Amino acid sequence: MIFKATLDRGRKLLTIKSNCVLGADRFDAIRASIMLHLEGTEGWALVIDHSESFPDKLDYRQVNALTEKSKVFDSLMLRNFIVVVHPKHYGFGRMWEIMASNKMRCNTRAFKSIEEAALFLENS
């Protein structure tokens, strides 16, 4: 599995679960899948679970480019955009969160576990 999308229409939640090396091509494919699944919707939460994936040579410039490309999601009027990363890569997740929060209208958060993300969604 490279990634799998799961829609929960009742909760207005799209979850993407990846298990791969994350390079620019994979991020582009995931972004396209999100747009396909959520086109024409508003107020959904998006959870991208990369906890079993590993970035391919990410640095500040590449994280910045990812946040720029993520602005396309503003058209979806997301309520939450959550990224779950392996604890070893939490620094990259936090960097994305901070950068994305300055560029996107929705609430952006990074977490070290899917359980932390689920708890946040329950309380938001």
For 57-81, the pLDDT digits (tens) are 777 788 888 888 888 899 999 999 9
What is the spatial distance between Cα 124 and Cα 82, in angstroms, rounded to a whole number?
12
Q: How many CB atoms lie within 10 A of CB 69?
A: 13
Average pLDDT of the chain is 92
Q: For the chain, which residues score pLDDT lower than 70?
A: none
3-class secondary-structure state, position 113? coil
Q: Is residue 56 within 8 Å of 40, Cβ to Cβ?
A: no
3-class secondary-structure state, position 36? helix
3-class secondary-structure state, position 32? helix
What is the spatial distance between Cα 120 and Cα 18, in angstroms, rounded to a whole number?
20
Q: Which residues of 46-62 are buried (b: 16+ CB within 10 A; e: fewer)?
A: bbbbbbebebeebeeeb
**Residue 4, CA atoms < 13 Å, CB-side half-sphere:** 5
Q: Is residue 108 within 8 Å of 76, Cβ to Cβ?
A: no
Phi/psi at 102 (5° precision): -85, -10
